[in-house]
Chain A
């Protein structure tokens, strides 16, 4: 099974400052077709998860451009350029495999 480890577990951030979340896999996430289908989800308090980023760096429909994704192979990063109050919540990386979906453990973003 692919294990995805997120760090930090919690990220207290000052409004307007950047935040960065890391997602690491024990094995390469490069698909047999050469693409990497790593996504990022946001879950605000009391809400279902919402897709933010797909295929490492593509913003999903309606996602503000202050969110960006990067990385390759086993190391991936989600960045929020300037944190807003609306960004509070838990962020998950996720990857689909032939066995199903795997998720990182989540990173909680909160305002200092």
Chain B
């Protein structure tokens, strides 16, 4: 069974940093692209970033470019999102999402809440 378990969400002050992790299991992690998607509670889904299976191809949404860094450790089956210079508008639930065998995504984690507030 595919499992994606996010962690690292917390309350942080504006301008602060946070690192999210996503522990993957139940599939060969190194074979799949991975994504981060966020959602303000009660609002819609917004794509944040993606990384290819070996970390050589990375893309970011304009809203986080230069502040967030996606990475992965295939030896640890873990996806990361380093979030710097956090803003109030980054407050959201952050989901780890697996890229599918076709162009798209299939499995979603439960999410981790990031709150940026003073």
- Seen from chain A, the residues whose Cβ lies within 8 Å of a Cβ on chain B are 31, 35, 37, 39, 41, 48-51, 54-55, 60, 92, 94, 96, 98-106
Contact = CB atoms under 8 A, between A and B. Distances in A.
Contacts of A37: 102-104
B106 A103 contact: no
A39 to B, nearest CB: 5
A48 B104 contact: no
B110 interface: yes
Secondary structure of the B contact surface, majority rule = strand
Contacts of B111: 48
B46 interface: yes
Contacts of A100: 35, 47, 49-50, 59, 61
Interface residues of B, number: 22
A57 to B, nearest CB: 13
The interface centre, meaning the residue of A51, A94, A105, A106 with most chain B CB atoms within 10 A of its CB, is A51
Contacts of A103: 44-47
17 contacts: A37-B104, A39-B105, A48-B110, A48-B111, A49-B95, A51-B107, A54-B102, A55-B104, A60-B106, A98-B59, A100-B47, A100-B59, A101-B47, A101-B50, A103-B44, A103-B46, A104-B44
